[in-house]
Amino acid sequence: MSETTKAGFVALIGEPNAGKSTLLNRMVGAKVSIVTHKVQTTRARIRGIAIEGQTQLVFVDTPGLFKPRRRLDRAMVAAAWGGAGDSDVVVLMIEAHRGMSEGVKAILAALQEKTGKAKVALAINKIDKVKTEALLALTADMNDAYPFAETFMISAERGHGCDALRSWLADQMPEGPWLYPEDQIADTPMRNIAAEITREKLTLRLHQELPYELTVETENWEERKDGSVRIDQLIYVARDGHKGIVLGKKGETAKAVNTAARLELEEFLGRRVHLFVQVKVRPNWLEERERYSEMGLDYKDGNDG
């Protein structure tokens, strides 16, 4: 590799459900971050790695920034701002049709202090949902509120404007050796990605029933001689009643989730997967230090104050 290689970190920040995970997966070209239509589904900073010419872009997908109410919320918000502060470039994503919401205004007010010396770009997502006049007015209002280095109008889902954003990001990265091997797309352990895939399937299946009250951990990962892999996972729920919801009538919900997660894992890994999932009641998992470590969050960031 020539000496002109570049590498750096890009943090994607914004309100919950702004499309950060969709953009990350679009940039990387593979699914490394959980994508659902529920808010606050990303709990840990997930790094996805993209190559643009001689530049390696390491994307940090942060939890959505929102008003924290409990320990997990506070740890997620701390992780989001931590990811922004540690990056070379920060991309603030907003939804075109939501405009300058109260949440966006709160993020704008904190940007200068939280992002340090990092350049900040604006990405207005879901541009197909508004008319051109409204889009131009929003762009002007946002740039009046904060001196963004550049503004991009994109559709993360359809890919519009994403190539221009990636090219610009590559130009901003500092010169230096690549930080990860060329064929690596994420620095998140596969055990964690597997747990996230199962949690996504649960989230999609259960909709509003268990927004926060469950977590998934990969307890065991066994490489088989035939090239397949056995994965044992635990779904922790906070209450007995929740266990019944996750299992479903005659275990149908759990079976459907298991099948959907296994099929996606097989596609992701390119080999046969034997997935075994158990549901356990753990009333205080939201307060347990080890659960936060599994999610890549800092337990102490969840303290009040």
pTM over 0.85: no
pLDDT at 261 over 90: yes
pLDDT interval class at 88 (50, 70, 90): confident
pLDDT at 1 over 50: no
Confidence at residue 292, expressed as pLDDT on a 0 to 100 scale: 63
pLDDT interval class at 134 (50, 70, 90): very high
pLDDT at 9 over 90: no
250, with CB counted inside 10 A (0-12, 13-18, 19+), is exposed
More confident residue, 151 or 88: 151
Q: Give 16-74 pLDDT, tens digit per residue.
A: 778 887 888 888 876 555 444 444 444 455 567 888 889 988 887 665 544 545 555 55
**Cβ(110)–Cβ(82) below 8 Å:** no
What is the C-alpha to C-alpha distance for residues 75 and 139, in angstroms, rounded to an integer?
Answer: 31
φ/ψ of residue 299, rounded to 5: -60, -40
Q: Across the chain, which distance is largest between two alpha carbons, in Å?
A: 60
Residue 157 CB partners (closer than 8 Å, separation 6+): 19, 22, 26, 126
- Going by their DSSP bridges, the two strands 229-237 and 214-223 should be labelled as antiparallel
Amino acid identity, position 48: G
**Residue written as token pair 């890994």:** 269
pLDDT at 85 over 80: no
- Going by their DSSP bridges, the two strands 89-95 and 6-14 should be labelled as parallel
Average pLDDT, the chain: 79
More confident residue, 250 or 110: 250
E-assigned strand segments in the chain: 6-14, 46-52, 55-61, 89-95, 119-125, 150-153, 214-223, 229-237, 273-281
Half-sphere exposure of 69 (CA within 13 A, CB side): 2
Across 189-218, average pLDDT: 78
Domains of the chain plus CATH, in order, are 6-172 (3.40.50.300), 190-302 (3.30.300.20)
Instruction: Please name every residue paired with 94 in a beta bridge, in sequence order, or none if there are none.
Output: 124
**Cβ(45)–Cβ(85) below 8 Å:** no
What does the buried/exposed string (b/e) look like for 203-229 if buried means 16 or more CB atoms within 10 Å of the residue's CB?
Answer: bbbbeeebeebbbbbbeeeeeeeeeeb
What is the C-alpha to C-alpha distance for residues 31 and 20, in angstroms, rounded to an integer?
Answer: 12
Nearest Cα neighbor of 237 from 255, 256, 198, 210 is 210
pLDDT at 4 over 60: yes
SS3 264: helix
- Look at 41-45, 93-97, 163-167, 274-278 and tell me which has the smallest mean pLDDT: 41-45
Residue 167 CB partners (closer than 8 Å, separation 6+): 52
**Cβ(161)–Cβ(131) below 8 Å:** no
Across 130-158, average pLDDT: 94
